Amino acid sequence: MFSGLVEEMGAVKTVDRTLGGTKLSVLASVVLEDLRVGDSVNVSGVCVTAVHVDEEGFSIDLSTETLKKTTLGLLQVGDPVNLERALKLHERIGGHLVTGHVDGVGVIRTRRQEENTILMTIEAPSELLRYCLPKGSITVDGVSLTINAVTEKAFDVAIIPHTAQVTTLGLKGPGEQVNLETDLIGKYVERLLQGSGYGSPKAPPVIDRDYLQQRGLL
């Protein structure tokens, strides 16, 4: 579990793509403090496992599912990435509860400066937008953000100067893809309501000859 508060920006050191899979090595410093092999790390919004750790960084293996559902498979040597270690139970949660299980990929459509803030509009799949609401939380490339507004195809967020300086969001612009994770609590609430019959309405039955015969009406 993570909070969406990025600890540092790292950089991709190597990319090894083979028939057996894809492995990345990442240059880092802050997150190496107590990182061990087998620990979880959030890399630009994706929860991955450190399979090797040394004084310069760590290495991760990317599964087929990760390559399919996230932007990590697009990374090249030198690309910056957001890094966060897993939370400890006694720590404050300054952002919101983040699992690192990416729901989908969005695309930055607009970026504009308003005084000291960067305003972004990010297009997202409809199945993700259903969990988005104004003043709700969303994770964009591992960064916990507050949603300003939601439309049929996108949502708006504001990037303050600190976030722009210490995360990759300050470097990204229109056309670039980002990993998205919607609010965890909202997904659980929807699931529980569906089980209780209060979720999405069921499709109306098809009234045909078979339907009438089964009910003794013919």
pLDDT of residue 200 exceeding 70: no
Which residues are CB-contacts of 23 (< 8 A; sequence separation ≥ 6)? 14, 15, 16, 51, 59, 60, 61, 62
pLDDT of residue 131 exceeding 80: yes
Asked, colleague to colleague, whether 8-85 and 104-195 share their fold, the answer is yes
Q: Could you read off the pLDDT of 202-214 as tens digits, one per residue? A: 566 677 777 667 7
Q: Tell me how far CA of residue 45 lies from CA of 86, 113, 139, 151, 206, in angstroms.
A: 12, 24, 7, 23, 43
Q: Could you read off the pLDDT of 53-110 as tens digits, one per residue? A: 999 999 999 999 999 999 999 999 999 999 999 998 777 778 888 999 999 999 999 9
Q: Which CATH number fits domain 8-85: 3.30.470.10, 2.40.30.20, 1.10.540.10, 1.20.1430.10?
A: 2.40.30.20
pLDDT of residue 194 exceeding 90: no
Mean pLDDT rounded to a whole number for the chain:
91
Domain boundaries, the chain: 8-85, 104-195
Find out whether 112 and 34 touch, Cβ atoms under 8 Å.
no
Q: Determine the pLDDT at residue 137.
A: 94
Is 104-195 CATH 3.30.450.80?
Answer: no
